Amino acid sequence: MKILRTPDDRFDHIADYPFSAHYTTIQTHDGSDLRIHHIDEGPDDGSADAPIVLCMHGQPVWSYLYRKMIPYLTAAGMRVIAPDLVGYGKSDKPATREDYSYERQVEWMGAWLETNDFTGITFFGQDWGGLIGLRLVVNHDDRFDRVVISNTGLPHNPNVPAAVVDQIEHFRANKPTPSLAQMQKALGGMQEGEHPATKFAYWQKFCWENEDMPIGFMMSMMMEQRSNLTRAAKFVLHSIGVKSPFPTPLAHAYDAPFPDPSYKMGPRAMPSQVPTLPTSPSLEEQRKAWEFFESYKKPFLCAFADNDPVTAGMQTEFQERVPGTKNLPHTTIKDGGHFVQEFAPDQVSKVIIDLIRTT
């Protein structure tokens, strides 16, 4: 397996990320060494028995996303473990599309978890962090005490009509690459009218077919408030080929893991691995995962945002099917957007802290 490693100096001037690096080396299926990075931050009093909160990020971000939550959690006496998924942040980056299957991500992070021997874990996952982390809970149940999820899912869709499957597969194979504006419009309308998978296909196609996916620019435009004039100017400059117009410290942080397009295979490939269709990989593994959670009685709390069109309503399935969700204070994160860690770190941290203290 060809594996790329981002040079350390790419992270030398990341704003608001003062955390020490910790590395774990695991073995891949072909015997290659794969290095995975994580943050390990504890309470100010250095308590050795602090409750562990495992925070997992999604696509296309990295553990930098948790920089605002970590101070809240550690101040409350929690130990925060925040890994970078393989292909992201300071972790190694396999170089081919086939390396980034859902099952390999679960396998890699499971090996990382076992090697570090973390136990008594409260899991928090959002976006792909939920998809992968929930599978870790299934495979390593004895290591987890409770679960909190936000803006994520455990997709298993065996009954999507054949006509919808054909429509999506034709779109992904034959239609032009959607522009950034077209992709954003489609995601914004995921809960309206058509099957959500037809909208999500715009994100899958946009990511895969943009070899130099504009990650820093997208995250800046999504996460940072700007005047309409500034936003319009940035979009115009980007549309004429300026990769990252007027980059902010946040844009720099999200571009840092990727010295050139060859490092971006993970963020490009993984959306296509989301099992949205009956023809998707991992369908049987997802079925088994839901079978596990349908008898899961440990505390399982949902804290979804009130304004995320991508995952709106997904918490309902968990609350209906997972016994551990009963009689818990499921929380709506106000104005959290898709990345609640960025927009509402205080609200999300409080949900986690309160659950640990009351269960």
Q: Which amino acid is at 267?
A: P
The secondary structure of the chain, three-state, reads: CCEECCCHHHHCCCCCCCCCCEEEEEECCCCCEEEEEEEEECCCCCCCCCCEEEEECCCCCCHHHHCCHHHHHHHCCCEEEEECCCCCCCCCEECCHHHCCHHHHHHHHHHHHHHHCCCCEEEEEECHHHHHHHHHHHHCHHHEEEEEEECCCCCCCCCCCHHHHHHHHHHHHHCCCCCHHHHHHHHHCCCCCCCHHHHHHHHHHHHHHCCCCCHHHHHHHHHCCCCHHHHHHHHHHHHCCCCCCCCCHHHHHHHCCCCCHHHHHHHHHHHHHCCCCCCCCCHHHHHHHHHHHCCCCCCEEEEEECCCCCCCCHHHHHHHHCHHHCCCCCEEECCCCCCHHHHCHHHHHHHHHHHHHHC
Active centre residues (catalytic): 127, 308, 338
